[in-house]
Amino acid sequence: MLKAQKLFDEMPVRDVISWNTILLGLNKSKNPERVYKCFLEMGRLGLKPNGHTLSSVVTAVLETEFKALVPQIHAISVCLGLNTSSFVGSTLMKGYRFLGDPVGIGRAFDEILVKNAVCWNTLVWAYMELGWMAEAQWAFDNMPEKNIVSWTSLVNGYIKNKMINKARSVFNKMSESNVVSWTVMISGYVQSERFVDALKLFCLMLRSETQPNQFTLSSVLDACAGCSYLVTGQQVHSIILKSGTPDDVILSTSLVDMYAKCGEIDTAFRVFEFIANKNLASWNSMIGGFARHGLATRALEELGRMTNSGIKPDEVTFINILSACGHGGMVKEGERHFSSMGIMHGIQAGVEHYACMVDLYGRAGQLDKAGELIKGMPFEPDVVVWGALLGACGLHSSLELGEFAAEGISKLKTDHPAAYTVLSKIHGEREVWNSVIELKNIMKEKNATKQKASSWVETAAIED
């Protein structure tokens, strides 16, 4: 891009096409500030922008602090008569979607003289993204012609707005489906944690003439991981090998995650080792897998390998590492990594990291440290943090801190049965039977019952 900018600056004569080319390059290099300045410079030289110019500028500022420029660019397009084109109008609708302005979306759409399928699809997408379901459905119903993109946009919109049954209803009405629409619906079930429904839909897809791609298979593997269906995951792995699906880091990472969550940690590691270009997600999946299996030393070894390969850890990496240290009883190691987050990596600890540290101290019986950590948190603890402390108090029969944790949970205005159950257990171990009876009466009054234990074996049996 530096060479392109140098050549551009040396040009004796620059027309609109020249400016559009440099704007497009700056856009691709993710430099919105430079795009904005370049656009201003073009205007000062007296050159009138065309539709491609305005589209490049709007696209560049969509997810940045410069997105407030969208109404100004809209005004420029009106002055130049460019707002009536479907190309500029669709781009402006996208801009208003990122501004969260449904009125602007409708105005940009109404100004388009000849509305094609792209305009209508953008309108449906924009309304869906803002959660304006009735308007999106109206736009879809009034489209002169609907194509697969139109139907898929509606399905995806309902999924994003957590209306998975409505999304499936729309999907079932599609006269034709392609790999994208099937993948969107399967992925939607996975996002909604309806893993078995995702697998059933995949079976229907296999019976159709549509062949899955790597994105479909990745979502299916996520479903297998979600419900611990190892055999199904192995069958999907076979499909990948037999179909010659291109080597894809996302798909390989999903395989690693599936095997790790289904208990096959050695197989997960073998798949991981075969990934040629490991990315951060790949390393996080493997480190997280070792953490879940209580293999703290292996998790820390993989962290060392990851950093040595030049990949920097992120928030998820440290959640996995702190969890591994907690399960492995490695308090000093956990403290060191918790401190290194901000000092060495510039990562601010979030509520999940504090919850891991509370759990770490709790498992090690260092309840005073856990309590002090919570008191010093830079934000309010959530139910996970309090729950970690409460669980540790139940494990070590600490009444004072247990009541402190229960009080913290009650301040969140959520009556969690576990709080009463753990306190009752602690009082019982200390033979304070009056308190046990009092807590049981409170549970009856609030209709708070103990949560029944369950397993994936029971779940599978019920579903069968």
Q: How confident is the model at residue 421 (pLDDT cuts 50, 70, 90)?
A: low
Cα–Cα distance measured from residue 11 to residue 29, given in angstroms and rounded to the nearest whole number: 21
User: How many other C-beta atoms are found inside a 10 Å radius of the C-beta of residue 426?
Assistant: 25
Question: Contact 23/35 with Cβ under 8 angstroms?
Answer: yes
pLDDT digits (tens, 9 = 90+) for 385-417: 877 777 777 766 665 666 666 666 666 555 555
First-last CA distance in the chain:
58
**pLDDT at 281 exceeding the cut of 90:** yes
How distant, in Å, are the alpha carbons of 390, 412, 415 from that of 409? 9, 5, 8
Question: Contact 186/152 with Cβ under 8 angstroms?
Answer: no
14 three-class SS: coil
Among 88-97, 354-363, 449-458, the least confident range:
449-458
Mean pLDDT across 224-228: 94
How distant, in Å, are the alpha carbons of 3, 22, 54, 92 from that of 95? 30, 21, 11, 5
Q: Which pLDDT does position 311 carry in this prediction?
A: 93
38 three-class SS: helix
Cα–Cα distance measured from residue 329 to residue 39, given in angstroms and rounded to the nearest whole number: 58
Give the gyration radius of the chain's Cα atoms: 28
Among 78-92, 98-112, 343-357, 439-453, the least confident range:
439-453
**pLDDT at 456 exceeding the cut of 60:** no
Q: Which pLDDT does position 31 carry in this prediction?
A: 86
Residues 101/107/110/115 CA torsion (nearest 10 deg): -50
Cα–Cα distance measured from residue 69 to residue 73, given in angstroms and rounded to the nearest whole number: 6
Q: How confident is the model at residue 444 (pLDDT cuts 50, 70, 90)?
A: very low
Mean pLDDT across 444-450: 48
Mean pLDDT across 152-173: 94
Give me the helix-helix angle, 417-429 and 433-445, nearest 10°.
160
User: Mind spelling out the 3-state secondary structure of 121-188?
Assistant: HHHHHHHHHCCCHHHHHHHHHCCCCCCHHHHHHHHHHHHHCCCHHHHHHHHHHCCCCCHHHHHHHHHH
Better pLDDT: 390 or 285: 285
In the predicted model, what is the mean pLDDT of the chain? 85
Q: What percent of the chain has pLDDT over 70?
A: 85
Among 254, 260, 259, 253, CA closest to 276: 253
pLDDT digits (tens, 9 = 90+) for 310-327: 999 999 999 999 999 998
